[in-house]
Amino acid sequence: MLLDRIQNELQEIAEAIMSVTLLDVTILNKDLKRLAGTGIYNKQVGNYAPRHSVFEKSINTGHQYVIENPRLSSKCKYCLGKEDCKEEAEVCYPIKLDGNV
């Protein structure tokens, strides 16, 4: 998988985005494995994001999502990590190459 081969570069990109936005950043592969992360996500690199999460929806649909209140949003209704969610807000944006996520 291409993203897995550039994990160090992805970490640098995540850190650059965080330095500009002051928001924690995580980058997942299509299997929901965290390849890079800053802040609260840094210790979760190598772990998997919850199934049925907005991350998974973004990867499967190719659409971006902005969630203002993750635990109450209808988009998070079936997320298997909802009970343990600590997100205050969430922006999910799929990484595309040649039109493929």
What is the reported pTM?
A: 0.87
Alpha carbon distance 35, 46 (integer Å): 6
Tally of domains in the chain: 2
Do residues 36 and 56 share a domain?
no
Same domain, 27 and 66: no
Domain, as residue range, for 94: 50-101
Give yes or no: residues 60 and 16 share one domain: no
Among 68, 70, 100, smallest CA distance to 83 is for 70
Q: Say if residue 10 is in the same domain as residue 57.
A: no
Q: State residue 5's pLDDT score.
A: 87
Do 75 and 44 lie in a common domain? no
Q: For residue range 63-89, list pLDDT tens digits in order.
A: 999 999 988 999 999 999 999 888 889
**Structure tokens that stand for 88 in this block:** 């205050």
Render pLDDT for 3-17 as a digit per residue (tens, 0 to 9): 888 999 999 999 999
Q: Is the pLDDT of residue 1 over 70?
A: no
Contact at 8 Å (CB) between 41 and 25? Answer: yes
| Residue 55, burial from CB neighbour count under 10 angstroms (0-12, 13-18, 19+) | buried
Is residue 29 within 8 Å of 35, Cβ to Cβ? yes
pLDDT tens track for 37-57: 999 999 999 999 999 999 999
